[in-house]
């Protein structure tokens, strides 16, 4: 009898008994993966939305610079482009912007000016004639969604990506 009891105990350890908590263990293993997929989908969706906002604002700014040729305050098209872009995206951080404005003058020479959202000026810009292109390229250092429950993940992801947009306009 003792031999069968010992075998029964070994069978109970490896047999069908003890499976009462298996659903909870499976749930605990799959829940982080499910939250990870939801986080990834939300982060990519917000990134694409912000890229679309940046593209629309860049297009509107390039058209404004192209159509207002010669009418800029202080004759500074770069400062005008910066102020128009920052007014289009008021909740975005100005220091994360990088601008490049390329102006083609009447002699078909191109003049490129670069700067950031805090300092972008080109008071020495050439006279912008009609029917010559202006190209504005804007990039923005974008930070992805943080994970509030896990602050150690947020340490290296403050500027995880760069959104970029480039638009051209013809001065009329």
Rounded to 5°, angle at Cα 86 from 80 and 90: 150
Q: Is 97 a domain residue?
A: yes
* Range among 65-69, 82-86, 159-163 with highest mean pLDDT value: 82-86
Answer yes or no: are the C-beta atoms of 58 and 167 closer than 8 Å: yes
Residue 137, SS3 per DSSP: strand
Q: Is 7 a domain residue?
A: no
Containing 73, the helix (H) or strand (E) segment is: none
Q: Is 4 a domain residue?
A: no
Residue 72 belongs to what domain range?
43-146+153-170
The count of structural domains within the chain is 1
Q: Is 31 a domain residue?
A: no
pLDDT digits (tens, 9 = 90+) for 100-124: 998 888 788 888 999 998 889 887 7
Name which of 165, 121, 125, 119 is nearest 142 in CA terms.
Answer: 165
Residue 18, SS3 per DSSP: coil
Give the pLDDT score at 42: 86
Question: Which residue has tokens 């906002």?
Answer: 53
Q: Is 48 a domain residue?
A: yes
Q: Is 17 a domain residue?
A: no
State both tokens at 63.
Answer: 């058209």
pLDDT digits (tens, 9 = 90+) for 127-138: 776 677 888 999
Q: Is 137 a domain residue?
A: yes
Give the pLDDT score at 85: 92
Provide the pLDDT confidence category of residue 82 given band limits of 50, 70 and 90.
Answer: very high
Q: Is 13 a domain residue?
A: no
Containing 42, the helix (H) or strand (E) segment is: helix 22-67
pTM for the whole structure: 0.73
Question: Which residue has tokens 């159509």?
Answer: 67
């Amino acid at each position: 009898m003792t031999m069968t009891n010992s075998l029964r105990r070994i069978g109970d350890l490896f047999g069908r008994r003890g499976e009462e908590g298996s659903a909870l263990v499976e749930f605990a293993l799959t829940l982080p993966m499910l939250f990870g997929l939801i986080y990834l989908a939300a982060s990519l969706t917000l990134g694409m939305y912000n890229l679309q906002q940046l593209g629309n604002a860049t297009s509107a700014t390039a058209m404004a610079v192209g159509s207002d040729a010669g009418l800029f305050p202080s004759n500074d098209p770069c400062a005008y482009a910066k102020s128009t872009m920052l007014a289009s995206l008021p909740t975005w951080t100005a220091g994360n912007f990088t601008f490049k404005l390329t102006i083609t003058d009447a002699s078909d020479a191109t003049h490129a000016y670069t700067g950031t959202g805090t300092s972008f000026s080109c008071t020495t810009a050439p006279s912008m004639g009609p029917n010559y292109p202006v190209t504005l390229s804007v990039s923005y250092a974008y930070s992805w969604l943080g994970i509030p429950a896990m602050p150690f993940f947020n340490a290296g992801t403050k500027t995880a990506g760069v959104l970029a947009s480039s638009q051209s306009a013809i001065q009329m």
